[in-house]
A = this chain, B = another copy of it.
Amino acid sequence: MKRSGILFVISAPSGAGKTSLCRRIVDIFPDMRHSVSFTTRPKRDGETDGIDYHFVSQDCFDTMVADGAFAEWARVHGNCYGTALATLQEARDQGRDVLLDIDCQGAAQLKRSCPDGVFIFILPPTFEELERRLRGRNTDTPEVIGRRLANARREMRELVWYDYLVVNDDLSRASEELKGIILAEGCRTGRTRDSVVQQFGIDKQEF
């Protein structure tokens, strides 16, 4: 059945495993467009410009903000992150689903501008496990880790307005749930009704 593209927005505290989960989803759904955010934060080892993020200078980012180029943007841990309007528009024009992994501030902005988007919050199994994962990553200073943990506690309070909660205690199980959410949302009556009615030649007057 043909239907229009769906915007899937995924948020999670750092260390909840959002990046690994999103990679799996893009593997499972090759037609899914994974939106690459713009950021001013420094590139980490192993990251690639244009794949993990579009790494840009603060000047460049500020110009894009001034030009109204972002569907949402936010400052997190002192760095700026934003989703280009053009990315969303392009996917919508192609009728493709879009996967966006962004923080709660950005997600809250999108919730207002795209209320028919699907908002998913990924949780670590426990706070203790989150701390263990962040410390094990060896990419951040203790100060940054402390800030991320405090931020995680604050972000957890946002989970109430998300549509779905996925606890990432096991990557396979969490991937299955995320895959399930994507398949299920594609079957929602509100999204497929018109094409079904057309396909079966049901007269709309009959409803």
Chain A residues with a Cβ under 8 A of chain B: 1, 121, 123, 126-127, 156-157, 159-167, 176-177, 179-189, 192-193, 196, 199-200, 202, 206-207
Contacts and interface: CB of A to CB of B under 8 A. Distances in A.
A121 B186 CA distance: 14
Contact of A189 (B160, B186, B192, B199): B160
B196 A165 contact: yes
A164 B184 contact: yes
Contacts of A126: 199-200
Nearest to A202: B156
14 contacts: A126-B200, A157-B202, A157-B206, A159-B193, A160-B189, A162-B189, A164-B188, A166-B187, A176-B183, A177-B186, A179-B180, A180-B183, A181-B187, A184-B184
Q: How many copies does the complex hold?
A: 2
A192 B181 CA distance: 15
Closest 8 A/B residue pairs (Cβ): A180-B183, A184-B184, A180-B180, A181-B184, A164-B187, A180-B184, A157-B206, A165-B192
Contacts of A164: 184, 187-189
